[in-house]
Amino acid sequence: MTSLDDLLEHRPPTPERPLLGLTMLLVEDSRFTCEALRLMCLRSGARLRRAGSLHHARRHLSTYRPGAVLIDLGLPDGDGASLIQELASAAPRVGAVLATSGDPDGRERAEAAGADAFMPKPVTSLAMFQNTVLSALPRDRRPPGPRLLPQEEIAPDPIALRDDLSHAAALLAPGGTGIELEYAAQFLASLGKAAGDGVLRRAGEELSERLVTGRPVGNALSRLNTMVTQMLSETRCPMDA
Contacts by 10-17, CB closer than 8 A, 24 or more apart: 12/143, 13/45, 13/141, 13/142, 13/143, 14/45, 14/143, 15/143, 15/144, 15/145, 15/146, 15/147, 15/148, 16/147, 17/44, 17/45
136 vs 15: CA distance, rounded Å:
17
> Right CATH number for 4-141 from 3.30.565.10, 3.40.50.2300, 3.40.50.410, 3.30.360.10?
3.40.50.2300
pLDDT (tens digit, 9 = 90+) per residue, 178-200?
889 999 999 999 999 999 999 99
Does 151 have pLDDT greater than 90?
no
Span 47-82, pLDDT tens digits: 999 999 999 999 999 999 999 999 999 999 999 999
For the stretch 90-116, pLDDT in tens is: 999 999 999 999 998 999 999 999 999
How large is the average pLDDT for residues 20-36?
97
The domain limits of the chain are 4-141, 158-235
Predicted confidence band at 239 (pLDDT cuts at 50, 70, 90)? very low
How much is the average pLDDT of 116-140? 94
User: Mean of the per-residue pLDDT values for the chain?
Assistant: 91
The pLDDT, as a whole number, for residue 241 is 45
